[in-house]
């Protein structure tokens, strides 16, 4: 199953632009992250995922890499990043960097060489047709911008040409096979990038668009999975303590076939995860499970999640997230009371959970103009709110020079405002994180089983190992009578859940853990 530290890992995702500015230029940086490591450790998180911090023209917030082996000057130096690894390790924390293997920036030297008319070592590093005047098999491409005659394929935005891992069944002569020397060279180049930071002390990678490597792949993504198995073999052999988490959201493929240790369960319309927190894009209104009395049901989550969980159990971990840099903050629609219950669920489920910076204080989704290709994602990328002071403690630069504006509302949440308040969302998150660390049965491996998912009368209840948990996000009281309650005691509660003579009374908006 991979590195044992994952069993009790609780990740904290940091968007480096917006976490802490250490040199007054208005943009977050690596020394700033180091300055705040004690905060993350105090929260109880023992692992970090840092969004791309490499040299880039920032047309997509750094997911357009210009140099995989160089820290972007605005964030500091390679030495700063190595110091971050060391400082994190000294606190018992692990650090994942963000690997973008599917594409580079069009400013990457590989691409600049590839775009030249004269054949060279990088000509086939990207996917090119051999004629600029024709398109590319119904796929997004750019033509007419280079000296080389050909159209090149895009993997995401116009600034992100697709690296060439070949095609499953090449049917045009310009398509490489997956076992061609050029496709192999791309894999080796990405492995080389991975080794570079692993050798300097990084503990693994979050892998961007991990399913996007081989073009024309089959439905099972079998050729792309084969590449990841090859990379996993390198990890097992040379970096057995390093971890890989995929942006794939398909555990059958990512965990069972490709060999990732973890796979994100992402917010896709109507999938199980979406029904928990962000069910508002579908017609018919927002029936998110954690919105009090919104008519949601845990069954919509379970129907999607359970089969995926059962099939991937023992093969890898499904990662539940509070949010990420692409997803609207959960506080967009959920109150702090609702967030407490949502996080209680996320932090007591199997697999490896991820908290997105600021979600622990209920940072809001802001209405912001796009920045660096963020578009509607920009609203979830605003500066961390540390205090009630200048720029919320994020930076001492003039407010109009910040990377993004801080939440200006008078009641904007902050770490300072919540840290010492036992009723705050932040205090609840700290207690929940501590609870997970205290009980192996709440961690990644202990089995999950539903006890009751008929919420007409009784609360939703589930087992983790020997523990029994119950959750009532509605405003109405629910009661559970079950032989499983015999001889138990309450070890954690939100709201006034009470266990009396083998009967569990759950008032509206409550959560309980019974040992």
| Contact residues for ligand GLC, defined by CB under 6 A | 60, 63, 100, 156, 208-209, 247, 325-326
- With CB under 5 to 8 Å by kind, the binding choice for 87 among ligand GLC, Ca ion, none is none
359 makes contact, choosing from ligand GLC, Ca ion, none, with CB < 5 to 8 Å by partner type, with none
Pairwise CA distance, residues 429 & 384, whole Å:
16
Share of the chain residues as helix, strand and coil, in percent rounded to the nearest 5:
30, 15, 50
Nearer to ligand GLC among residue 59 and residue 294 (C-beta): 59
Sign of CA dihedral 21, 27, 33, 39: positive
Of 21 and 182, which CB lies nearer to Ca ion in the complex structure? 21
| Partner whose footprint covers residue 217, from Ca ion, ligand GLC, none (CB < 5 to 8 Å by kind) | none
Kindly give the residue spans of alpha helices, DSSP state H, lying in 119-180.
Answer: none
CB-CB contact of 415 with 392 (8 Å): no
Least CB distance to ligand GLC at residue 419 (A): 30
Q: What sign results for the dihedral spanned by CA atoms 275, 280, 284, 290?
A: positive
CA distance 228 to 349: 26
Q: What is the smallest separation between the CB atom of 96 and ligand GLC, expressed in angstroms?
A: 13
Q: Which is nearer to Ca ion, 73 or 144 (CB)?
A: 73
Closer to ligand GLC by CB, 58 or 394: give it: 58
Counting Cβ atoms within 10 Å, is residue 456 exposed (0-12), middle (13-18) or buried (19+)? exposed
Residue 512: CB atoms within 10 Å? 27
From ligand GLC, Ca ion, none, interface partner of 110 (C-beta below 5 to 8 A by class): none
Nearer residue to Ca ion within complex by CB, 29 or 455: 29
- Residues of the shown chain interacting with Ca ion in the complex, contacts defined by CB under 5 A: 21, 23, 25, 27, 29
Contacts for 196 with CB less than 8 Å, ≥ 6 apart? 68, 69
271, interface contact from ligand GLC, Ca ion, none, CB < 5-8 Å by kind: none
CB of 46 to ligand GLC, least distance (A): 23
Please provide the DSSP assignment of 94-122 as one string: EEEEEE--SB--TTSHHHHHHTSSS--TT
Query: Please, which residue, 25 or 326, has the CB nearer to ligand GLC?
Result: 326
- Closest Cα partner for 248 from 230, 235, 265? 265
25 binds, among ligand GLC, Ca ion, none (CB under 5 to 8 A by kind): Ca ion
Shortest Cβ 497–ligand GLC spacing (Å) = 37
Kindly tell me which of 21 and 217 has the beta carbon lying closer to Ca ion: 21
In the bound state with ligand GLC, the residue whose beta carbon lies nearer, of 74 and 148, is 74
> Among residues 253, 202, 252, which one has the least CA distance to residue 226?
253
Least Å distance, CB 74 to Ca ion, is 7
Contact 430, 444 (CB under 8 A): no
CB of 408 to Ca ion, least distance (A): 21
Q: How far is the CB of 358 from ligand GLC (least distance, A)?
A: 17
How far is Cα of residue 390 from the mean position of the Cα atoms in its chain? Answer: 29
Specify which residues 356 forms β-bridges with: 13
Compute, in degrees rounded to 10, the torsion defined by CA atoms 416, 419, 420, 423: 120
Residue 247 site contact among Ca ion, ligand GLC, none (CB < 5 to 8 Å, cut-off depends on kind): ligand GLC
Q: Which is nearer to Ca ion, 21 or 106 (CB)?
A: 21
Residue closer to ligand GLC, measured from CB, 354 or 386: 354
Question: How far is CA 31 from each of CA 134, 188, 323, 384, 386, rounded to the nearest angstrom?
Answer: 48, 31, 24, 15, 16
Compute the least distance from the CB of residue 165 to ligand GLC, in Å.
15
Q: At what angle do helices 336-346 and 425-438 cross, to 10 degrees?
A: 10
Exposure pattern of 306-339 as b/e (b: 16+ CB <10 Å)?
bebbeebbebbbbbbbbbbbebbbbbbbbebbbb
- 172 neighbors 127 (Cβ within 8 angstroms): no
Nearer to Ca ion (CB atom), residue 25 or residue 445: 25
442: Cβ–Cβ under 8 A, 6 or more apart, which residues? Answer: 347, 348, 435, 436, 464, 465, 467, 513
Least spacing, CB of residue 169 vs Ca ion, in Å: 48
Residue 325 beta carbon to ligand GLC: minimum distance, rounded to whole angstroms: 6
Q: Could you tell which of ligand GLC, Ca ion, none binds residue 286, using a CB distance below 5 to 8 A set by kind?
A: none
**Where in 342-495 does DSSP place strands (E)?**
354-356, 448-452, 460-464, 467-472, 478-481, 490-494
| Binding site partner of 209, from Ca ion, ligand GLC, none, Cβ cut-off 5-8 A by kind | ligand GLC
Among Ca ion, ligand GLC, none, what binds residue 27 when CB lies within 5 to 8 Å by partner kind? Ca ion
Q: Quick one: what does residue 499 bind among Ca ion, ligand GLC, none, with the CB cut-off 5 to 8 Å set by partner type? A: none
Residue, CB closest to ligand GLC: 63
Residue among 25 and 440 whose Cβ is closer to Ca ion: 25
Distance CA 346, CA 343 (A): 5
Q: Which 8-state DSSP code applies to residue 376?
A: G
Q: Which H or E element spans position 428?
A: helix 425-438
- By Cβ distance, which residue is nearest to Ca ion? 29
Instruction: Report in angstroms how near the CB of residue 373 gets to ligand GLC at its nearest.
Output: 7
**Which of Ca ion, ligand GLC, none sits in contact with 205, Cβ below 5 to 8 A by type?**
none
């Amino acid at each position: 199953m991979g590195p044992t530290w994952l069993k009790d890992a609780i990740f904290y995702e940091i968007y480096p632009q917006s976490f802490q500015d250490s040199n007054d230029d208005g943009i977050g940086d690596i020394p700033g992250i180091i300055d705040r490591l004690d905060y993350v450790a105090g929260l109880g998180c023992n692992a970090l995922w840092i969004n791309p911090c490499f040299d880039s023209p920032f047309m997509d917030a750094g997911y357009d890499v210009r140099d995989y082996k160089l820290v972007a000057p605005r964030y500091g130096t390679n030495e700063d990043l190595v110091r971050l690894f060391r400082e994190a390790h000294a606190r018992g924390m692990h650090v994942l960097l963000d690997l973008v293997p599917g594409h580079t920036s069009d400013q990457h030297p590989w691409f600049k060489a590839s775009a030249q008319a004269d054949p060279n070592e990088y000509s086939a590093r990207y996917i090119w047709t051999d004629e600029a005047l024709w398109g590319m098999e119904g796929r997004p491409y750019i033509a007419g911008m280079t000296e080389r005659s050909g159209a090149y394929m895009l993997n995401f935005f116009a600034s992100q040409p697709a690296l060439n891992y070949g095609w499953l069944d090449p049917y045009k002569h310009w398509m490489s096979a997956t076992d061609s020397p050029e496709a192999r060279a791309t894999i080796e180049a990405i492995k080389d990038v991975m080794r570079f930071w692993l050798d300097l002390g990084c503990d693994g990678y979050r892998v961007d668009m991990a399913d996007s490597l081989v073009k024309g792949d089959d439905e099972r993504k079998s050729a792309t999975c084969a590449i990841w198995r090859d990379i996993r073999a390198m990890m097992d052999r040379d970096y057995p303590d390093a971890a890989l988490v995929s942006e794939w959201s398909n555990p059958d493929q990512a965990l069972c076939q490709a060999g990732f240790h973890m796979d994100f369960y992402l917010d896709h319309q109507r999938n199980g995860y979406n029904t928990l927190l962000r069910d508002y894009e579908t017609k018919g209104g927002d029936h998110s499970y954690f919105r009090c009395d919104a008519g949601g049901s845990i069954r919509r989550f379970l129907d999607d999640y359970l089969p995926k969980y059962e099939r991937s159990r023992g093969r890898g971990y499904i990662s539940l997230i509070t949010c990420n840099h692409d997803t609207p903050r959960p506080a967009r629609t959920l109150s702090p009371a609702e967030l407490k219950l949502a996080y209680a669920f996320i932090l007591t489920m199997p697999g490896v959970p991820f908290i997105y910076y600021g979600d622990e204080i209920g940072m809001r989704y802001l209405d912001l103009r796009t920045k660096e290709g963020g578009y509607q994602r920009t609203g979830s990328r605003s500066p961390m709110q540390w205090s009630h002071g200048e720029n919320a403690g994020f930076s001492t630069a003039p407010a109009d020079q910040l990377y993004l504006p801080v939440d200006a509302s008078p009641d904007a949440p902050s770490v300072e405002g919540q840290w010492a308040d036992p009723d705050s969302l932040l205090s609840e998150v700290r207690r929940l994180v501590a609870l997970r660390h205290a009980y192996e049965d709440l961690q990644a491996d202990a089995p999950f089983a539903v006890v009751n998912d008929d919420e007409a009368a009784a609360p939703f209840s589930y087992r983790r190992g020997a523990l029994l948990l119950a959750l009532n996000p509605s405003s109405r009281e629910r009661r559970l009578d079950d032989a499983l309650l015999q001889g138990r005691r309450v070890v954690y509660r939100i709201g006034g859940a009470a266990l009396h003579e083998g009967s569990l009374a759950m008032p509206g908006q409550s959560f309980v853990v019974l040992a």
